[in-house]
Amino acid sequence: MKIVAFIPARFHSKRFEGKPLALIAGKPMIQHVYQRSKESPELDEVYVATDDRRIYTCVIEFGGQAIMTDESHLSGTDRIAEATEKINLEDRDIVVNIQGDQPIFQPSIISDLIRPLIEDPKTPMSTIMCEIKDDQELYDTNNVKVAVDKNGYALYFSRLPIPFDRDQEPKTIHYKHLGFYVYRKEFLLKFTKLSYGVLERAEKLEQLRALEHGYRIKVVETVFDSIEVDTPEDIKIVEQKLPN
């Protein structure tokens, strides 16, 4: 069984055109993400999956591996599903979806993410969360929140605070979803063929598709948050947090 990571990357973005190639401390953001991914000892290979020749060339030039994919994909999940077919992964191989706009993520979270699928062959999919400690994050709709059951399986994902704390109890803990995923290849391909659901259309969160169709998502807790780069202004924030 192989464990292979894919970093979906597209050039065109409404909020930040050419984001994967934006320089952070002199290196393209996609290079930061790729090199952090390579620090995970469990990964057999790491690929960037892209539809843009400029991104592909950049990855090859810094010594990484890249796969060209179709331009028509609506999500990074669809893009990596095509990439898994191009390198002929087996159905039971494990696929890691690493976010291309989180250039300073902690590599150890990949180990945490993979573990549920290694320990339980019936687990089709896992993701990760961290505790929210800043009220600004809690009410920011760009930060996705998740509620889980007592066994760590997702109950729901939302852009609004969940659970809603009616009595404003200070002990209520909220969790932010970080957007990294791990799938078995056979489930990944099945997932991309599932019909869109009411919840996914409302929240614009594709992981809700799995829940609406009755599939379970294991959610692992980490103490490591990860900063997303959504706009050019976020670059300075990331550069300030880079290790010296």
pLDDT tens-digit readout, 155-168: 999 999 999 888 87
Give φ, ψ of 92 to 5 degrees: -90, 0
**What's the rounded Cα separation, in Å, for the pair 62 and 18?**
17
How large is the angle between the packed helices 76-86 and 185-193, nearest 10 degrees?
A: 130
Show the tokens assigned to 148.
């889980």
Q: In which domain, by residue range, is 34 found? A: 3-241
**What's the rounded Cα separation, in Å, for the pair 243 and 90?**
37
Q: Are strands 27-28 and 218-221 parallel, antiparallel or unpaired?
A: unpaired
CATH number at residue 17: 3.90.550.10
Please, is 219 exposed, middle or buried when counting C-beta atoms within 10 Å of its C-beta (0-12, 13-18, 19+)? buried
Mean pLDDT of the chain: 93
pLDDT tens-digit readout, 31-50: 999 999 999 999 999 999 99
Q: How many domains does the chain have?
A: 1
pLDDT at 169 > cutoff 80: no
Distance (Å) of CA 75 to CA 70, 109, 123, 131: 11, 22, 23, 26
